[in-house]
Structure 1
Amino acid sequence: MTFATCDSAGGLILYINIKWCNPGHVTVKETICTPDIELLAVGLRPYYLPREFSHAIVVVVYIPPSANAARACDVIHSTVARLQTDHPGAFLTINGDFNHAKLPKTLTGFTQYVKCSTRENKILDMMYANVKEAYSSSALPPLGTSDHNLIRLVPTYKPVVRRQPVTTRTVQLWSGVVEERLQDCLQITNWDLFTEDFGEDVEGLADCITLYIRTCEESIVPTKKVRCFPNNKPWINKNIKALLNRKKRAFMAKDREGVKSVQKELKGELRRAKKGYKEKIEGKLEDNSTREVWDGLKGITGQKQAGLDEGGGQDRANELNLFFNRFDVPPPTHTPPAGRVSQ
C-alpha cells in the first residue's frame, strides 16, 4: 500500500499513488472535525488486492495535544465499528498523529505496527490494521522542516492462498437424466421387503431405508473431484471462474473492449451467485438447520476458521472487561500542580 498522510490544524490530506490505485476508485466514506479529533475515512479499490479482501479502507486521524483522549477514541471506535459493519470483508487501517491517545483499550482486533520512535524517543504517529503480521516498520529522516520522522511500512502479509493448502473434495453432478435414473431405481424397489424384515422397529427401518437410498444415489449419480482454494468465497462457481479466465485472456491480449465486456458479465454473474447463496442460507434457516446457517454466515462475513482464532488469556479478558465497563468508571479528577491557578 502506498500512501502518505498530512495533518495540521487546518485539516487532513491523504496522498495516494496513482500507480497503486486508480483515482476513480477512491471514495470518501466519512469526515469528522471536532475539537478533540479530525478524522477522514477513504475507501480504495487498488489494482491488486488479495482475494480475501473486498477493498481497503484508510482512516486518517489527528488528535491534538489538548484533546480529550477518551472522547477522541470513542469517535474512532464508533466510526470504525460502523465501517466494519457496512464492509465486513475490507482491509482497514487507522493511521495518523495520535499524540497522547492509544487505541488498544477502545478498539479490539487491531494491531499497531509502528515500533520505532516518530518524535524524539516517543511514538506519536501510529498505524493500526485489522490484520495480523501485515507490516514491518522502520524510521526515515523527517520530511523538510517537520519535527516528526517518516515511517516506512514494508508489507509482510502472506495471502491466504499461500498460507493454507488447496483442498480437494468430491461433488455430485446432478442432471435431468440422472434424476430420472434415480427415480426409476426407487420406483422398481420392492419396499415391502424392508417392512417384513424390521416389523415394528421403526428406527431400524428408517436407518435401513436411508442407507439403501444413499447407496442408490452413490451408484447412479456421477461424481467429480474439484480443487477448493482457501481464498475463494463460497458463492464462487464454475461460471464465475470461466469469466475470470476470459477476462485474463482479454487483458493479456490488450483487448480493452473485451475486458470491459467480460467485466460487465462478471458483475451480473457475481450478483446472481451471491443472491443464490443468500437464498440457500435463508432456506436452511427455514429448515431450522442452525449449524449450517452459522457456517454460511461465517463464510459471508469472512470470519476466521477454527484453529486460526486469536488465543485468549487473563490479559485479554481484562482488556475486554476494561473496554465494556469504561462508562461505569468515573473519570479521574485532575489536580493542578502547586503554584498554578487552573483556568
Structure 2
Amino acid sequence: MDGTADSGKSRGGGVCVMVNNNWCNNANVVTLARSCSPNLELLALKFRPFYLPREFTSVIVSTVYIPPQANMDTALWELHEALTQFQVQHRDAALIVLGDFNSANLKHWDLFRRSTDDVSEFTEAVVGFIGKLVDDTIPRATIKKFPNQKPWVDKTIRKALNSRTAAYNAGIISGNMDEYKSAAYGVSRAVREAKRRYGRKLESQFQQSGSRSLWQ
C-alpha cells in the first residue's frame, strides 16, 4: 500500500505484506483495512492458510507504520480502534501486529484515561473491557447446586446413583434384581467413603487455617 496524499508526506512511506505461496495462496487472502493518515499507516489482511491449529479460523496480519513526527496518542488510538474491530468481527482469528512503531510505546496505552474524565465512567469502561477479555478467553461451565444437596456429595456418588437407576430399570424388564441389589450396596459404600473424605478435608482445613475458614 503506497502512502497517499492523506498521509501529508511528499515522499516515502507506505507498507506492504509479502506472502509465501507455500503458506497461503491469493484466493485465501482478504483485505480488511487500508488506511493512511499523518499519524498511522495500516494494512490489515486476513489469511486462511493451508494449515491452522483447530482453535483458529484465520490469521489477521496488521502491518503498521507510525512516523517519528506522529502524535503517538492519536496513532495508538487509531490502531486500537482498528484492532478492536478485527477482534469483534473475527473472534476466532489469530491476530498479529507488526511494523515500525518508532517511539510509540505499545505497553502503555492510556486509552481508558483519554475516554472520559468521570471516574464512574472510567471504572465502568475498564471493568467492561476486563469482562470482555474474560468472556473471550475463559470457557464457562454451568454447575447446578440444590439447597438440599449435602456438601459431601461428589461425582462418585452421582455415578453410583446413575448405576443403581440403570440396574433397577434393567431388573424391572428382566425380572432379575441381583444387579440392582449390588448397585444399591455400591451407593451405600460410595456415601460412606465420600463422608470420610469430606471429614478428612474439614479436619485438614481446621488444622491449617483454624475454625474461621470453615464458615467462609
Provide the TM-score with structure 1 as the length reference.
0.31
Provide the TM-score with structure 2 as the length reference.
0.47
Q: Greater Rg, structure 1 or structure 2?
A: 2
